[in-house]
């Protein structure tokens, strides 16, 4: 096997490295900067140039080497390259070749294009390790333009009613994707500190985002009527939001496709926005790899494996500590 599954993470014996390990190791190849994939404590890191700044922002002074998409790196007896995953800026699938056999670790990925991330690139391989966070047929994502229209209509309606529109979105990836879809002519955009910290990192890399205003304790809320407020989902349920007065709350998440989740979150609106592949996207990505061996991880693994076996794949499940998309996971704490 080109890759093995150890207690520390996904391991390559030929190169003596791990991919997205969840326990400290000597050498870690990282698919992207989300906290469940890029963890602290490793001695050496390798990630795409675009993923590096966010990783340093989150992890501090780490020994991090950058690599370009498509660049082939010889590590021990293994040949390694990183390829766009379409998940968040800088996210990658990692291709590992040894002895004429190719394995690909997807990390997290999304096949639909957006205005934020490098477009997903299918990679041919013999074995593919895929996430299946949304590995059920009920998950089918809306067209990006229609989704943007829905969010903008909600915001404009809130403003006309004298309300703020408060939208819960992950501080890395989801928040910036929402910003890329909204019309800043509707009103000002206010951001939670965790979101604005990430905005600063991505802007420094040249990513184009609309103007935003950081929410601070001394911010004059009345000076920004009808604003769109973008914050981590947990901030919408706590005292942080109370300062704004009348608000309509919304959540941007793939889980909003499930009515039960929308009801439990008690938000006024749920927008089905995900940086992961939906059911059709998972199946398309897997077919385009040409792989016969598929390993499913973090998501509806048992159901998805059964489906893959019915389609003729040699399918298995990999137990990992990756979390996929969770409404209550926060990566930074800032106000």
Domain of residue 252, CATH code: 3.40.50.10710
Is the domain of 189 the same as that of 90? no
Is the domain of 172 the same as that of 46? no
Is the domain of 96 the same as that of 198? no
Residue-number span of the structural domain to which 253 is assigned? 144-271
Is the domain of 119 the same as that of 162? no
8 within some domain: yes
Identify the pLDDT of residue 181.
Answer: 96
Model-level pTM? Answer: 0.94
**Backbone phi and psi for residue 49, each to the nearest 5 degrees, phi listed first:** -55, -35
Is the domain of 170 the same as that of 262? yes
Identify the pLDDT of residue 327.
Answer: 63
Is the domain of 89 the same as that of 115? yes
CA distances to 33, 195, 264 from 62, rounded to whole Å, are: 13, 22, 39
Is the domain of 92 the same as that of 171? no
Identify the pLDDT of residue 37.
Answer: 96
Q: Is 216 exposed, middle or buried (0-12, 13-18, 19+ CB in 10 A)?
A: exposed
Is the domain of 295 the same as that of 261? no
Is the domain of 168 the same as that of 244? yes
Name the domain count of the chain.
2
Q: What is d(CA 180, CA 50) in angstroms, rounded to the nearest whole number?
A: 18
Identify the pLDDT of residue 335.
Answer: 37
Identify the pLDDT of residue 329.
Answer: 54
39 within some domain: yes
Is the domain of 264 the same as that of 192? yes
Give the length of the chain.
335
161 within some domain: yes
Identify the pLDDT of residue 325.
Answer: 81
> Where a domain ends, among 248, 271, 294?
271
**Backbone phi and psi for residue 139, each to the nearest 5 degrees, phi listed first:** -90, 110
Identify the pLDDT of residue 237.
Answer: 81
- For residue 55, give every residue at least 6 positions away whose Cβ sits within 8 Å of its Cβ, in sequence order, or none: 30, 33, 38, 45, 47, 62, 64
Identify the pLDDT of residue 104.
Answer: 98
The answer to whether 289 and 105 are in contact (CB under 8 A) is no
For the chain (335 residues), the mean pLDDT of every run of 10, in chain order, is 96 98 97 95 98 96 98 98 97 98 97 94 98 96 95 98 96 95 97 97 95 96 96 89 94 90 80 96 98 96 97 95 71 41
**CATH number for the domain harbouring residue 305:** 3.60.15.10
326 within some domain: no
> Where a domain ends, among 253, 271, 289?
271
45 within some domain: yes
Q: What is d(CA 42, CA 23) in angstroms, rounded to the nearest whole number?
A: 8
Identify the pLDDT of residue 247.
Answer: 96
Is the domain of 151 the same as that of 217? yes
327 within some domain: no
17 within some domain: yes
Is the domain of 192 the same as that of 69? no
46 within some domain: yes
Identify the pLDDT of residue 331.
Answer: 46
The answer to whether 313 and 293 are in contact (CB under 8 A) is yes
């Amino acid at each position: 096997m080109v890759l093995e599954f150890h207690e520390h993470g996904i391991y390559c014996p030929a190169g003596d490295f791990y991919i997205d390990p969840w326990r400290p190791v000597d050498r870690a190849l990282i698919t992207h900067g989300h906290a469940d994939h890029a963890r602290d404590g490793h001695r050496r890191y390798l990630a795409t140039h675009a993923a590096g700044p966010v990783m340093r922002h989150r992890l501090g002074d780490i020994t991090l080497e950058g690599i370009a998409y498509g660049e082939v790196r010889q590590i021990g007896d293994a040949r390694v390259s990183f390829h766009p995953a379409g998940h968040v800026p800088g996210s990658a699938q990692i291709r590992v070749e040894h002895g004429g056999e190719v394995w690909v670790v997807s990390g997290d990925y999304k096949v639909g294009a957006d205005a934020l991330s490098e477009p997903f690139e299918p990679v041919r391989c013999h074995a593919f390790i895929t996430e299946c966070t949304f590995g059920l047929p009920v998950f089918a994502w809306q067209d990006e333009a229609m989704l943007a229209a829905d969010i903008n209509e909600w915001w404009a309606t809130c403003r006309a009613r004298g309300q703020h529109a408060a939208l819960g979105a992950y501080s890395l990836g989801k928040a910036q994707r929402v910003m890329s879809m909204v019309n800043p002519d509707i009103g000002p955009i206010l951001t939670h500190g965790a979101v604005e910290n990430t905005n600063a990192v991505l802007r420094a890399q040249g990513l184009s985002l609309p103007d935003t205003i950081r929410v601070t304790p001394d911010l004059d809320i009345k000076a920004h009527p009808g604003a769109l407020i973008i914050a981590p989902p947990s901030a919408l349920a706590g005292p942080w939001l109370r300062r704004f007065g009348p608000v309509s709350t919304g959540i941007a998440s793939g889980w909003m496709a499930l009515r039960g989740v929308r009801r439990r979150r008690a938000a006024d609106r749920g927008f089905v926005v995900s940086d992961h592949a939906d059911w059709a996207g998972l199946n398309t990505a897997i077919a385009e790899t040409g792989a016969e061996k598929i390993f499913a991880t973090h998501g509806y693994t048992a159901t998805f494996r059964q489906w893959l076996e019915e389609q003729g794949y040699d399918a298995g499940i990999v137990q990992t500590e990756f979390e996929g998309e969770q409404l209550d996971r926060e990566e930074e704490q800032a106000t």
